[in-house]
């Protein structure tokens, strides 16, 4: 059974967290995601499920609270927006290093600096390449609807616990602020302390009983051991690629031109696909749902079918590099994006396909391709 | 002893109609218009101009410094 | 005597200082930020130190202070204004450097920067507008939020047990040797505003004398966040905020006042 | 059927909640809906607008450049959105506070004296419901019963006693809309 | 005239900062870079040049002090190591957004998390792709010797002021901790306050005189204006690519196989070049000196000459993506690296070339290449 | 009586607790960290609460505390132990949660987390080893470094004017209502060590009673950082540290002691 | 009254030769060896075993808990 | 000429400064040099080692796997670095505290009783200079006068009065090195 509601993405995410039986949320207000903590506080989750919701003194305190909570085997999450996420990066790197399951939500706004509070996708690199220090990756889920804001909370925790690794939900101001219909799942029970111990007592700090003591740390002064740690992380990432890649193909079957877009850009590109098809241009859309792992094989294969690809992003060109790496220069790959909080219109996106890809694609020799990439 | 006589000029467009100036005026000089300015705010005006003694209390408390105060000394 | 006879340039006794720009203040009607801005700039104007003053704007409702104050200003990352002011003051030791901060900025995320700038005794003025709430982001709980007070993140009122007590950061930093002057004022009436202005003046005078940190807290309203009219909010402030954040000097000339 | 609407006005005019009620009403009528606000430092007045889409199909972009209907409630919004109405689309506005009236001839323009009527009804807050009624008169995309249900859903329980008043306002709006003729003057429908 | 000394990289950098007339250093201790602030403090720079040296209460305070100092038109810098740099990322994004000239030094250690204190290059992505939030880039200089640790301070400030942009010196524990000969430049005078005002008074906050007031900010609530801001940054980055790209070619003239490596890896790869040549393998080394801008054209051209390329890094594979993007699939590109604080030996590096590139290169069909990239 | 007759299991009156692991402590000879580790674990042992205790290790010389304490532990990012302890204690409210932190960790980078955990009155024990220096990284100045004291970043002695005064953070946080117990101890003699142990015991007892923050400062030596022998360093501590950081209770049962 | 007689056993390998145990022993029981252990430290030993009364002062102050203390009551 | 050396021992034995003096001496003789320490949480004893390279050419990798010479001053370092001496290379060690002596037959092994000699000279701190002297006897890569200059450069002025003592120690070391024969016993050169 599910309940139908009209909600903001941020609210849906918060409500889903309660219903998924999340144990703790720690956060600090920042536009455009403050509704997350506001909804949680309004819902008295301590009463509904016993969930701990705490407004921290800063983003740094919040991410470290998540680290503390996660180290006890409980489900903990935080959310913020761009500048706040930058502040959390040390803590995120610690989570990865200490192999802790946790969910971090970034409702991206335009940067750099204080920037704007309008939607943006300019934190793509930070999210998928490694905002924090050291050799680690985040599993990154990019919701494109209010429904996904809701659904991905549970998915994210599943992955986080499967791999004992932090998971990022990379949203943006548009998805966070818009309202849509959402089917909310039924309330799940939070695990009892005993269940937590039974399930995660092998590694979590729950109090040392007869077992060996559990230690949560990301430190190894001995580089030989540290290298082993890092390789262990790498293995997880390989497994994620194999088992937990997610993407959506829209109108790809007969597509001659391909948009690649995630999150709010995917919504807009999808409309551009309809506009294109009305004009007789066979356009399709590949929407990566996970940004890491990235659907590179899928793109590599689609590159045999299409004549050109446009990476549509709310930034000055970030994901386009991953598209290029995946496509391996088989067809021209271009980027279109607006930035600083401006959202491109479907019309603009289609125009960009026509100007940058279709025309170029016809000439399509190596030189033009080079110039577009270099 | 010379008595002070005052007057205020309210900048209709910067006044936001917060009414903070009203109670600090011991002479009850100020009231709010019923019309609104371009930003949709009612604004302050001298409903009781004779009473103003130019004490500047209203101007000092006005967050938007919408009030300019004038004062002359008149024989008591 | 006719009003028009009075309203003549030579009779003008009060008007907005030219050191404020012509931009309309971005604050809600009746918000104390506007008054504090004006008082600060009036002091700078009266001391004729505009050329030698550098302001640091926070993240908060007053983030755009630089749009209104016609002086050189740097906009700080959330909470970091005291660190930024530290550097400016060290590099231009003859300048007047002030921060302008809200309570979320100064007493939550910026706690460490505030405390350590105070401990080092940087030669700066801190103007701290305490409205018990995060105004800019829509009225969330601040460290200074009163017990039982409803905000968007304490919709059933701040509970001490879970959320802690209102943080009296001015009293706290007043204990540090680097703080030379600490005072708590308000601007909700002409009397209070005039007193607050004197305190701000004293703070800037201290900078001139190289005395270290002058910390001027202004207890203020956030009628939007509190969901009241401006006049209601001022009354609420008098009734509820002042008992917890009592007005008056806390430390003068490096000496703590007994409380 | 897809109806793409922008509602724009001052912060305090209830623009966002009008959009929300419309969207919720859409859901009651089994439509796909999206509601996308302009958001900003919320507390400080200024203008606010919201894009509402009602459709029988899955909605792709919630963000648009051109609209079927623009509901405009202050001058700034008029300046900004008159040009964003699709040819043959609808522009509905409250003339109160408007100094430069719309001039386009390729769209249909309507007036609703929302503020005045709400004041007459003794509650300025129902202004947005009057406007909503006017919209539903012009574009009857949602049945009135579904709007009532939408109201119920979008207002929290403690405001449910206000539903009759809101309905009244909507009905008032339904009956009070007038066509605005760019060259001449306004006529009642 | 220059002075010859034996110094650690960290010390040479600190000494160079004094001699270059830097106005301020703000930092917080962390291994392996604490010698920077220690040397500065020992040298009484306040007496030598009037330079301000302050130990901040944290890395965050330090970067914001740099922001404050930079906003006054003065030359300010900070240094840290990986976890500390993560904490500085919000501030770095603000520097970029507010267009402030400043120099940040990262003496990288192994991560993620607390990691090790041994040398690493695992912060490559963070440095060149965008550790902080928003659309911005850092100009990144990668010294490979103590001499360059010294020389790059002045170079970094030149670039920082040329573009009004933050510059990163990306070093690592090896370059920071090792001692080599260094030719120190003569002491330069610090600019007087008057000179600063004359030179930078057009934008810096130095006290408003007759001119318009100066404002340092990264905020634009209006996305239209914010986008203009971001495009202005992009333009700078284009200009950097055109005017300030730096790299070094070693034994490339007749090379059949190419190492690409920077910083300490370049030192080791250089030895591997000698070892290779002794064995009859014609190896060469392209050393990017700037990591952004990246020598992509140079690599694109070299790809016509060589049979295969090995990207040698102290990480699990980061720069290799930039090599692949540049080479555009003309020849196989492989990665070799150790991580977690382990330094590869020249012998290992050569072996990797033989195993991964030379053997693969002979088979060299598209399928193997794909598998190596995907 | 022959020594061998005395050395029999039944006569044993003191030995290392089994709750410490067999790993050799990584501390320098004579470093107070070792004693504080042992005292803490002895208290946990004697209270028989090991199963219900979770420790949080800092970044600093005691980063490896988890190698020595045979209990569940989480290693915190530099300065963030109080935030981490907050979360652990909220999620396992029946556990004893303590942080173990140095002065750089707690009073410099961790200032905000320390102060706000104290203000919220988290039900945790803070064990705060104040050796006036950053030991781990090679003896740099800490907020607690004494005036005139030489460190690798104050090689000519800490100057108040530039670097601020030694920060008495325990006195400061004792002002916060969330702090129930604040005390300053040392471990350089058996007498002091025994007293310190009592204080630590009291702190853990407070957790049992759900009293909020118990803050136990231990003034300690860092002979490596101070460049002295262990005995010299202890003497130096008595002569120089104690006057600034006087031993004794600062707040007991939520009541401030007069000073 | 019964008198206590004590003895200590020092773990040669964990003792780091810090000498903190020496001054706290009022009976002057402890001294340092001239040889060093595997880590290069001189270590504590009972130079004056008869004097030990098993008070545990040395053990309590030993950071490395290298000392185990034994005590028996003997008739005075 | 290139000489690649590792010096390894306890933290307090002056390993790093011995390497630094060697490197500075190399500079005095117009050589290229590099000095690469193992670093760690410095304050806490343990082992320390430093790689010193002296060369007539630009030095590429400052970090090596195999060395021309290993100077070994405690057992842990012996365990770690005996195998890292290149065939025909040199291993020089102080037998004090060594329980497992080296066993390789493809390298040249020398002993220097550094600690004993330094103690005899009345100053344990010059131990590292005695060892340096021994190294220079075996591998006279640097002239003694340049070592004196190197000492001057690497010691800060307030320690310059110790230079004569240091020189004496070096000379003592020069004269006291002995060959260690893996099968038999040690002989003096
Ligand atoms: C790093 C970071 N965190 C959070 C925010 C969001 N934010 C903006 S203003 C603000 C709080 C402002 O409150 P306060 O300092 O009390 O000032 P007021 O608006 O009440 O004047 C917050 C949390 C931000 N911009 N940056
Ligand atoms: C974010 C970050 N900054 C800096 C460091 C480096 N660091 C490690 S320990 C330490 C200071 C430790 O001093 P203190 O807390 O006084 O503990 P002690 O070692 O003296 O016991 C520092 C600065 C780090 N690891 N992480
Ligand atoms: S105080 Fe100022 S803004 Fe408020 S009503 Fe009076 S004049 Fe207008
Ligand atoms: S939100 Fe509050 S603090 Fe901000 S301008 Fe409005 S009243 Fe003032
Ligand atoms: S460095 Fe100082 S604090 Fe650290 S173990 Fe050594 S003596 Fe103790
Ligand atoms: S106190 Fe302990 S470590 Fe120190 S000398 Fe005595 S027995 Fe050894």
CATH value at residue C165: 3.40.50.970
Banded pLDDT at A359 (limits 50, 70, 90): confident
What residues make up the domain containing C72?
28-134+142-256
Smallest CA–CA distance, residue F71 to chain E, in Å, is 21
Backbone φ and ψ for A255, nearest 5 degrees, come out as: -70, 140
Mean pLDDT is highest, among A302-306, B36-40, D184-188, for A302-306
Residue D144, pLDDT score = 92
Size of interface C-F (CB pairs under 8 A): 63
The tokens for E38 are: 């220690």
Ligand 5 nearest-atom number relative to CA F131: 3
What residues make up the domain containing B16?
2-75
Residue C259, pLDDT score = 62
Tell me which chain G residue has its CA closest to the CA of residue H98. Answer: G38
Banded pLDDT at F259 (limits 50, 70, 90): low
Single pTM value for the model: 0.97
Residue E30: its chain F contacts at CB < 8 A?
137
Same domain, E51 and E175: yes
Q: Does D17 touch chain B (CB under 8 A)?
A: no
Cβ-defined contact of E57 to F109 (cutoff 8 Å): yes
Residue whose Cα lies nearest atom 7 of ligand 2: it is E30
CA distance H147 to E7: 17
pLDDT of residue A362 exceeding 50, the answer is no
For a mutational test of ligand 1's pocket, the pick from C68, C135, C139, C152, i.e. the residue with the most ligand atoms closer than 8 A to its C-beta, is C135
Cβ-defined contact of B40 to D75 (cutoff 8 Å): no
Q: Which ligand is nearest to the CA of G42?
A: 6
Q: What is the mean pLDDT of chain H?
A: 90
Buried-state track E216-245, b at ≥16 Cβ within 10 A, e below 16: bbbbbbebeebbebbeebbebbeebbeebb
What is the tens place of the pLDDT at every residue in E171-197? Answer: 999 999 999 999 999 999 999 999 999
Q: For chain A, how many structural domains are there in total?
A: 2
Residue A368, pLDDT score = 36
E176 lines ligand 2 (CB under 6 A): no
The tokens for F111 are: 């200032």
Asked, for residue E202, whether it belongs to a domain, the answer is no
Closest by alpha carbon to A233, among A327, A177, A164?
Answer: A164
What is the tens place of the pLDDT at every residue in C101-133? Answer: 999 999 999 999 999 999 999 999 999 999 999
Residue D114, pLDDT score = 94
A285 has which bridge partners?
A250, A259
Gap from CA of F67 to ligand 6 centroid (Å):
20
Tell me which chain A residue has its CA closest to the CA of residue D30. Answer: A181
Cβ-defined contact of B40 to D10 (cutoff 8 Å): yes
Show which of residues 210-229 on chain E sit within 8 Å of chain A, judged by CB atoms. 217-229
Beta strands in chain B (DSSP E): 2-10, 30-36, 42-46, 67-75
Full DSSP string of D48-79: EEEEEEEESS----S--SSEEEEEE-SHHHHH
Cβ-defined contact of F153 to E41 (cutoff 8 Å): yes
For G13, left (φ over 0), alpha (ψ -120 to 50), or beta? alpha
Residue B3, pLDDT score = 85
Size of interface E-F (CB pairs under 8 A): 53
Torsion of CA C139, C140, C142, C145, to 10 degrees: 70
Residues in chain A, total: 374
The tokens for E213 are: 């007031």
Chains E and F touch (3+ CB pairs under 8 A): yes
Q: Does F244 touch chain C (CB under 8 A)?
A: no
Size of interface A-D (CB pairs under 8 A): 67
Residue F79, pLDDT score = 98
**Measured CA distances, H60 to C17, E144, E145, E170 (Å):** 66, 10, 9, 19
Would you say E202 and H48 are in contact if contact means Cβ atoms under 8 Å apart? no
Mean pLDDT of A106-117: 97
Mean pLDDT of H60-86: 93
pLDDT of residue F144 exceeding 60, the answer is yes
What residues make up the domain containing A118?
3-195
C131 lines ligand 4 (CB under 6 A): yes
Same domain, A31 and A174: yes
Closest by alpha carbon to G16, among G34, G35, G42?
Answer: G42
Give the DSSP H/E element, type plus range, for residue D135: helix D127-138
Cβ neighbours around A238 below 10 Å, total: 11
C142 lines ligand 1 (CB under 6 A): yes
3-state secondary structure of B38: coil
Percentage of chain H with pLDDT > 90?
72
What is the tens place of the pLDDT at every residue in D141-169? Answer: 999 999 999 999 888 888 899 899 999 99
Asked, for residue F201, whether it belongs to a domain, the answer is yes
Smallest CA–CA distance, residue C241 to chain F, in Å, is 18
Would you say B27 and B75 are in contact if contact means Cβ atoms under 8 Å apart? no
Residue C73, pLDDT score = 98
> Which of A82, A115, A133 lies nearest to residue E82, judging by beta carbons?
A133
Mean pLDDT of A208-233: 96
> Which of A68, A90, A209 lies nearest to residue F88, judging by beta carbons?
A68
What is the tens place of the pLDDT at every residue in D78-95? Answer: 999 999 999 999 999 999
For a mutational test of ligand 3's pocket, the pick from B8, B19, B56, i.e. the residue with the most ligand atoms closer than 8 A to its C-beta, is B19
What CATH number has the domain bearing residue G9? Answer: 3.30.70.20
- Residue G35, Cβ density class (10 Å: 0-12 exposed, 13-18 middle, ≥19 buried): exposed
Gap from CA of F199 to ligand 2 centroid (Å):
25
Tell me which chain B residue has its CA closest to the CA of residue C197. Answer: B60
Cβ-defined contact of E55 to F152 (cutoff 8 Å): no
Q: What strands, in cross-sheet order, belong to the sheet with A247-250?
A: A247-250, A283-288, A257-260, A308-313, A333-337
Cβ-defined contact of B7 to C6 (cutoff 8 Å): yes
Q: What is the mean pLDDT of chain F?
A: 97
What is the tens place of the pLDDT at every residue in C66-82? Answer: 999 999 999 999 999 99
Residue whose Cα lies nearest atom 6 of ligand 3: it is B21
Gap from CA of F42 to ligand 6 centroid (Å):
18
Same domain, A7 and A127: yes
What is the tens place of the pLDDT at every residue in G32-72? Answer: 999 888 887 899 999 999 999 999 999 999 999 999 999 99
Same domain, A30 and A171: yes
pLDDT of residue D35 exceeding 90, the answer is yes
Residue D10: its chain B contacts at CB < 8 A?
40
Cβ-defined contact of B60 to C7 (cutoff 8 Å): no
Cβ-defined contact of C113 to E64 (cutoff 8 Å): yes
Banded pLDDT at D10 (limits 50, 70, 90): confident
- Residue H145, Cβ density class (10 Å: 0-12 exposed, 13-18 middle, ≥19 buried): exposed
Q: Does C28 touch chain D (CB under 8 A)?
A: yes
Give the DSSP H/E element, type plus range, for residue G7: strand G2-10
Smallest CA–CA distance, residue C239 to chain B, in Å, is 17
Q: Does F147 touch chain C (CB under 8 A)?
A: no
Asked, for residue E235, whether it belongs to a domain, the answer is no
Residue whose Cα lies nearest atom 6 of ligand 1: it is A30
CA distance A333 to A354: 13
Same domain, A187 and A308: no
Residue E77, pLDDT score = 98
Residue H85, pLDDT score = 97
What is the tens place of the pLDDT at every residue in C31-50? Answer: 999 999 999 999 999 999 99
Mean pLDDT of C197-217: 98
Give the DSSP H/E element, type plus range, for residue E320: helix E319-327
> Which of E95, E136, E223 lies nearest to residue A116, judging by beta carbons?
E223
Residue whose Cα lies nearest atom 6 of ligand 4: it is C28
For C60, left (φ over 0), alpha (ψ -120 to 50), or beta? left
Would you say A165 and A293 are in contact if contact means Cβ atoms under 8 Å apart? no
Banded pLDDT at E367 (limits 50, 70, 90): very low
Chains H and B touch (3+ CB pairs under 8 A): no
Domain D2-112+139-158, CATH homologous superfamily name and number:
Pyruvate-ferredoxin oxidoreductase, PFOR, domain III (3.40.920.10)
DSSP-assigned letter for residue F25: P
Gap from CA of H180 to ligand 4 centroid (Å):
84
A242's CB contacts (< 8 A; 6+ apart) are none
Residue D76, pLDDT score = 85
Q: For chain C, how many structural domains are there in total?
A: 1
Backbone φ and ψ for E301, nearest 5 degrees, come out as: -75, -45
Backbone φ and ψ for E359, nearest 5 degrees, come out as: -65, -50
B19 lines ligand 3 (CB under 6 A): yes
Q: For chain G, how many structural domains are there in total?
A: 1
How many Å from the N-terminal Cα to the C-terminal Cα in chain E?
52
CA distance E268 to E252: 16
Would you say E182 and E150 are in contact if contact means Cβ atoms under 8 Å apart? yes
pLDDT of residue B58 exceeding 60, the answer is yes
> Which of H24, H35, H40 lies nearest to residue E178, judging by beta carbons?
H35
Q: Which of D34, D53, D60 to mutate to test the interface with A (most CBs of A within 10 A)?
A: D60
Banded pLDDT at G1 (limits 50, 70, 90): low
Poorest-pLDDT segment among A213-227, D144-158, E202-216, H19-33 = D144-158
Banded pLDDT at B37 (limits 50, 70, 90): confident
Residue B38, pLDDT score = 80
Gap from CA of C124 to ligand 1 centroid (Å):
22
> Which of F63, F70, F84 lies nearest to residue A213, judging by beta carbons?
F70
Residue D44, pLDDT score = 58
Q: Does D111 touch chain B (CB under 8 A)?
A: no
Asked, for residue A236, whether it belongs to a domain, the answer is no
Strand C72-75 relative to strand E215-216: parallel, antiparallel, unpaired? parallel
Buried-state track A299-321, b at ≥16 Cβ within 10 A, e below 16: bbebbeebbbbbbbbbbbbbbbb
Chains H and C touch (3+ CB pairs under 8 A): no
For a mutational test of ligand 5's pocket, the pick from F30, F32, F225, F228, i.e. the residue with the most ligand atoms closer than 8 A to its C-beta, is F225
Banded pLDDT at H20 (limits 50, 70, 90): very high
Count of CA atoms in the C-beta half-sphere (13 A) of A252: 18
The tokens for A56 are: 């921290």
> Which of A65, A90, A213 lies nearest to residue F86, judging by beta carbons?
A65
F166 lines ligand 2 (CB under 6 A): no
């Amino acid at each position: 059974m599910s309940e139908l509601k009209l909600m903001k993405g941020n609210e849906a995410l918060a409500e889903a967290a309660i219903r998924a039986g999340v144990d703790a949320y720690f956060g600090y207000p920042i536009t455009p995601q403050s509704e997350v903590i506001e909804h949680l506080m309004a819902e008295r989750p301590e009463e509904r499920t016993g969930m701990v919701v705490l407004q921290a003194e800063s983003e740094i305190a919040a991410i470290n609270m998540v680290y503390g909570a996660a180290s006890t085997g409980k489900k903990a999450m935080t959310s913020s927006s761009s500048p706040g996420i930058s502040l959390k990066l040390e803590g995120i790197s610690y989570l990865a290093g200490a192999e802790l399951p946790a969910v971090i939500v970034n409702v991206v706004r335009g940067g750099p600096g204080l920037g704007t509070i309008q939607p943006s996708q300019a934190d793509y690199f930070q999210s998928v390449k490694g905002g924090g220090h050291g050799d680690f990756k985040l599993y990154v889920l990019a919701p494109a609807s209010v429904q996904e804001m809701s659904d991905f909370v549970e998915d994210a925790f599943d992955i986080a616990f499967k791999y004992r690794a932090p998971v990022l939900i990379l949203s943006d101001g548009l998805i966070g602020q818009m309202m849509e219909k959402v089917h909310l799942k039924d309330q799940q029970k939070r695990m009892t302390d005993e269940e937590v111990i039974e399930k995660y007592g092998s590694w979590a700090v729950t109090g040392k009983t007869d077992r060996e003591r559990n230690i949560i740390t990301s430190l190894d002064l001995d580089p030989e051991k540290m290298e082993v740690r890092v390789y262990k992380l790498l293995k997880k990432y390989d497994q994620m690629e194999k088992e937990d890649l997610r993407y959506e193909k829209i109108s790809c079957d007969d597509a001659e031109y391909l948009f690649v877009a995630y999150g709010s850009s995917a919504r807009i590109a999808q409309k551009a696909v309809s506009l294109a098809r009305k004009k007789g241009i066979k356009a399709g859309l590949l929407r990566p749902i996970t940004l890491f792992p990235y659907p590179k094989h899928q793109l590599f294969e689609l590159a045999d079918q299409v004549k050109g690809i446009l990476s549509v992003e709310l930034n000055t060109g970030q994901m386009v590099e991953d598209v290029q790496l995946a496509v391996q220069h088989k067809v021209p790959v271009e980027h279109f994006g607006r930035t600083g909080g401006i959202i491109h219109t479907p019309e603009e996106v289609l125009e960009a396909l026509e100007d940058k890809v279709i025309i170029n694609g016809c000439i399509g020799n190596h030189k033009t391709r080079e110039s577009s990439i270099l | 002893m010379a008595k002070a006589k005052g007057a205020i000029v309210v900048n209709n467009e910067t006044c936001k109609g917060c009414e903070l100036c009203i109670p600090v005026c011991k002479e009850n000089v100020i009231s709010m218009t019923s019309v609104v300015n371009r930003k949709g705010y009612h604004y302050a005006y001298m409903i009781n101009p004779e009473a103003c003694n130019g004490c500047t209390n209203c101007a000092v408390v006005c967050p938007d410094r919408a009030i300019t105060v004038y004062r002359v000394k008149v024989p008591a | 005597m006719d009003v028009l006879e009075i309203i003549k340039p030579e009779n003008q006794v009060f008007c907005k200082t030219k050191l404020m720009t012509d931009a309309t203040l971005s604050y809600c009607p009746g918000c104390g930020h506007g008054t504090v801005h004006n008082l600060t700039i009036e002091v700078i104007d009266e001391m004729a130190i505009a050329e030698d003053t550098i302001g640091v704007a926070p993240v908060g409702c007053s983030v755009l202070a630089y749009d209104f104050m016609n002086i050189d200003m740097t906009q700080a990352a959330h909470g970091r204004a005291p660190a930024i002011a530290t550097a400016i003051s060290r590099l231009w030791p003859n300048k007047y450097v002030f921060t302008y901060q809200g309570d979320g900025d100064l007493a939550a995320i910026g706690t460490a920067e505030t405390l350590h700038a105070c401990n080092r005794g940087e030669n700066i003025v801190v103007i701290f507008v305490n409205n018990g709430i995060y105004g800019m982001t829509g009225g969330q709980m601040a460290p200074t939020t009163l017990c039982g007070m409803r905000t968007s993140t304490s919709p059933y009122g701040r509970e001490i047990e879970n959320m802690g007590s209102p943080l009296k950061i001015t009293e706290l930093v007043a204990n540090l040797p680097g703080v030379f002057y600490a005072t708590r004022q308000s601007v909700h009436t002409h009397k209070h505003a005039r007193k607050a202005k004197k305190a701000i003046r004293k703070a800037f005078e201290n900078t001139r004398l190289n005395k270290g940190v002058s910390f001027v807290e202004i207890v203020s309203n956030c009628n939007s966040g509190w969901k009241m009219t401006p006049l209601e909010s001022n009354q609420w402030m008098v009734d509820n905020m002042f008992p917890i954040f009592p007005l008056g000097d806390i430390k003068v000339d490096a000496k703590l006042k007994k409380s | 059927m897809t109806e793409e609407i922008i509602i724009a006005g001052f912060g305090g005019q209830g623009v966002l909640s009008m959009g929300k009620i419309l969207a919720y009403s859409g859901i009651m009528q089994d439509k796909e809906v999206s509601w996308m606000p302009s958001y900003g430092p919320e507390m400080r007045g200024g203008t606010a607008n919201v894009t509402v889409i009602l459709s029988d199909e899955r909605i792709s972009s919630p963000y648009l450049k051109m609209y079927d209907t623009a509901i405009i409630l202050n001058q700034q919004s008029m300046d900004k959105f008159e040009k964003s109405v699709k040819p043959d689309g609808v522009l509905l506005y409250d003339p109160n506070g408007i100094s430069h009236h719309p001039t386009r001839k390729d769209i249909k323009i309507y007036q609703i004296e929302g503020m005045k009527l709400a004041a007459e009804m003794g509650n300025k807050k129902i202004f947005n419901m009057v406007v909503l009624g006017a919209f539903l008169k012009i574009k009857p995309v949602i049945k009135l019963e579904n709007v009532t249900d939408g109201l119920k859903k979008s207002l929290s329980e403690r405001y449910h006693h206000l539903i009759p008043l809101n309905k009244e306002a909507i009905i008032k709006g339904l009956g009070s809309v007038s066509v605005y003729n760019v060259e001449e003057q306004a006529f009642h429908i």
